[in-house]
A and B are shown apart, each in its own frame.
Chain A
């Protein structure tokens, strides 16, 4: 128990909603969902105030731009900017806020400032899948290989293999993504291995989307460099944490008892050591995803892989604030959702966390 004493509520008027609140607070499922909603609300509010209230906020910059470029009057420019940002600038701030939030809840992210008339949601719908595909595939690969290697390192601890893999894992977990991306390009060029012009984009021009072998081969062909970078930069964390968890678990009493019970080594390694050592990793899943998604702007920009990260960078360069806001929100929502799912998954996998009741 934490040492912070929760003051006992006195029976008095207003205690009902407190009790209800506490009931929600002690319910694992509800608490996780509440946290996710809170995070998204926090990020959207942050964005709203950045766009609206910063001294050199994008709205003013855009209005100035319209005025100088198209010699519009301030009023015209202002109303055009307002419609593009989906804001009613004459309303009081709180109304704008409510309007903005209700728009978001309905899934309205406004229209792109640069490619006028295109809805931000349409752009996102088109390019988000590529980011999710590359990051997701990479995560799957790095978890499987990383956890496997971590187990090998633990069982062969202090061998040369363990030492070599530890050094590799340290490099993997500390060197920034763009360094790996640059290294791949530099060596690809030096050894004439890769055709970077052909690798650009997320598909080859003219390929027919569909559940065909040619298409699947093509998307992997275009995604494999980003995937490689994500794997290289996240696998080290999996290796090191699985190694340490396995070592800790091997020292647990129940492993000794399992051996005393005459269980087969394979059974002990999987259900007794492996499962308990891997369990805490479920929570790292969200962190790893956040790190890879966070790196997607850099990785996609370097390889010109056209996903959401690429568009985030482009929108910043083009001062396309509505698109930028949309890209950032969706990336955040993706991470928050993944976080929530892994939290819930942990509750299912570990019987010690009761889903229904309190801690």
Chain B
């Protein structure tokens, strides 16, 4: 009999990574079957190609051409030219990367901080937990954009990293609460009890049992955090409170407004291009988020 006992193999160190990849792959396949999620995925892919691949192929047009000022759109120049006769389409291509990187960076930071605090709060419990949850309550009622505006007055936001840091630290609260309640409910469930009874160790429980069960919450909140960060930073740029130089969708709209192009009907396409870019980017993320939520939580599927 003894020879036939199946041995409990120790998982290889790469196993979590493998399961992560297969998890992502099956998630993508499920999303494909979800109409809204598929649209969101296509939108996000489109923006990835637009902002990270296309700039390698199409150079930025920064030559001032007096004869092309506000020239109308054409096949080669789908959004026409700006007030200095530069092609708008190449500005759109080159003007998203920084924004997206900053937004993703802030979302990563917010997710890390939020998930860690939430998990700790649930595990430690007691006074730490009550105090942190009170702080979350307080934090969520502070109007975030005015707070950012005030912070921008005190802290010179000269480089993207500062912006990532501020926005990341601003958005920790929603995820903290979500992760905490998830960890609390997962702690109750049978399979954790079983894992404990089998004496599988805390790290196994956290990384193999608890974390996979929270991937849905974390990924949904991560996507939402990107949209918040995008909302905050473009609003700040639009107000002129973040002296971001270079080409970027927010700066384009800001320039259009300060130079009065916004009130001139010649510049219609010049303004519409970044407006559409920001709006569609946000919309793709929200669609993706809804799709992910429905894939993870079948009860939402109607």
Contact = CB atoms under 8 A, between A and B. Distances in A.
Is any CB of A less than 8 Å from a CB of B in the complex? yes
Interface in A320-358: 321, 324-325, 327-328, 331-332, 335-336, 339
10 contacts: A56-B156, A176-B278, A176-B282, A179-B278, A183-B275, A294-B143, A294-B144, A309-B146, A317-B240, A332-B146
Interface string B227-259: 100110011001111000000000001001100
A247 B302 contact: yes
A325 B150 CA distance: 8
A176 B234 contact: yes
A294 B145 contact: yes
B260 to A, nearest CB: 11
B125 interface: yes
Interface stretch (A36-44, A112-120, A136-144): A36-44
Interface string A278-312: 00000000100010011101100110000001001
A325 B147 CA distance: 10
A2 interface: yes
Given A178-B238, A301-B239, A316 B287 contact: no
A313 interface: yes
A5 B283 CA distance: 42
Given A39-B141, A309-B146, 15 more contacts: A4-B184, A38-B138, A43-B142, A58-B154, A174-B227, A174-B286, A175-B283, A182-B253, A186-B275, A294-B143, A297-B149, A317-B240, A327-B146, A335-B143, A336-B141
A178 B142 contact: no
Interface in B117-153: 125-126, 129, 134-135, 137-138, 141-147, 149-153
Nearest to B121: A4
Nearest to B130: A4
A302 B253 CA distance: 12
Contacts of A190: 265, 268
B279 interface: yes
Contacts of A174: 227, 282-283, 285-286
A189 B262 contact: yes
B238 to A, nearest CB: 5
B137 to A, nearest CB: 6
A332 B142 contact: yes
A39 B138 contact: yes
B265 A35 contact: no
Contacts of A170: 283, 286-287, 290
Interface of B: 125-126, 129, 134-135, 137-138, 141-147, 149-156, 184, 187-188, 227, 230-231, 234-235, 238-241, 253, 256-257, 262-265, 268, 271-272, 275, 278-279, 282-283, 285-287, 290, 302
A42 B141 CA distance: 11
A331 B145 CA distance: 11
Nearest to A190: B265
Contacts of B126: 4, 7
B188 A290 contact: no
A182 B138 contact: no
B283 A171 contact: yes
Contacts of A328: 146-147, 149-150
Contacts of A176: 230-231, 234-235, 278, 282
Contact of B153 (A38, A294, A321): A321
Contacts of B235: 176-178, 295, 298
B239 A54 contact: no
Contacts of B143: 290, 293-294, 331-332, 335
B234 A175 contact: no
A176 B230 CA distance: 9
A185 B263 contact: yes
A312 B146 contact: yes
Report, nearest first, the 3 A-B pairs whose CB atoms are least far apart.
A294-B143, A294-B145, A174-B286
Given A175-B283, A186-B268, A54 B154 contact: yes
Nearest to A54: B154
Nearest to A7: B126
Nearest to B156: A56
